[in-house]
Structure 1
Amino acid sequence: MVRDCAGDAIGALSMPIPLPQSIADVEALAYCRAVQFAAEIGLTRVVFEGDSLVIINATTNDSGVLATYGAVVEDIRELALGFQLVDFKHVSRSCNAVADALAKKASTTVELQVWLEDMPSDIVPLVRRDVL
């Protein structure tokens, strides 16, 4: 889910992740794809929020290099160098309802889905609730 500085939705992405080894692996892959998506749509100043403290810490503190997701975290760090401003923040799962819904949507498809400006009708109420 991509929002502008006012909190308005400007884009979202949902895609399946095949056969991950662990929850942390899934979180790292999702985070990496979010960073790629932000770059693809031309963002230069970004804040990435996620509810996996393990992955946030690995991304910001150079930890987790030897973990199964270590190479993905290295990819995230490398991609992040392309932004003028980048920050990674941990948020509670309750503040991440849109991302959770997009992940569930990904489990019902075999292809990448991207929305720019217009969000799926089942996601819109969650987007609005997050801003309030």
Structure 2
Amino acid sequence: MIPTQDASLSSENVTFSVGMVLRDHTGKFIEGRVGCMPEVGSIFEAEAIGIREALSWIAGKGLTQVSFESDSLLSIRALRGDGGNQLEVGHVIQHCLELLQSNPTFSLDFISRQANKVAHELARCPCLLSCFYVFSSPPESLLETLLYDVSS
């Protein structure tokens, strides 16, 4: 299984959204999730929270052999211990590390923004504050992006 995630700040920077997509090894959409959360200090913090939410989501499903993908290089570096100053997100990174340690078959890899379009688009879906929506089939607005991803 391959979950990807992305975060998107609102234009007013008063909220941010996290989009998460779970796919199988062929790229087929299994499930999606989007949530809106209160203001954060930076996109780095939003992305780190997105990774934490994705790790928690998949850990709660009891899945193993999972390769998480994120386009947040700063977050990936912080989780690998070479991220420099993590003062603003240290508590989030610590929680991510705990989730990774308690799920030793999970891995986390960096992917380019172009390879993360589905999660990016899902993060831009409108949602209510402090609420998560689960999609058992992709929203219609994602169908073209999903088809493009699978064919490329």
Deviations 1:93-119 (A, max 9, x none): 1111111111111xx211211123x11
User: 1:65–1:73: 8 Å Cα contact kept in structure 2?
Assistant: no
Q: How far apart in 1 are the matches of 2:95 and 2:85?
A: 11
Aligned length: 129
TM-score by length of 1: 0.88
User: 1:24–1:55: 8 Å Cα contact kept in structure 2?
Assistant: yes
Shift of 1:62: 5.7
Matched with 2:53 is 33
User: 1:60–1:88: 8 Å Cα contact kept in structure 2?
Assistant: no
Alignment map for 1:44-123 (pairs within 5 Å): 44-61=64-81, 63-64=83-84, 66-105=86-125, 108-110=126-128, 111-116=131-136, 118-123=137-142
Equivalent residue letter for 2:144? P
TM-score by length of 2: 0.78
Question: Do structure 1's residue 23 and structure 2's residue 43 form an aligned pair?
Answer: yes
Q: How far apart in 2 are the matches of 1:87 and 1:65?
A: 23
Shift of 1:84: 4.2
Change (3 A) 1:62 1:78: farther
Shift of 1:124: 2.2
Structure 1 portions without partners, runs of 5+: none
Structure 2 portions without partners, runs of 5+: 1-20
Aligned to 2:30, which of 3, 7, 10? 10
CA RMSD of aligned residues (A): 1.6
Shift of 1:6: 2.2
The structure that is strand-richer by fraction is 2
Give the percent of matched residue pairs that are identical in Structure 1 and Structure 2: 30
Runs of 4+ in structure 1 deviating by more than 2 angstroms, as ranges, are: 61-67, 81-84
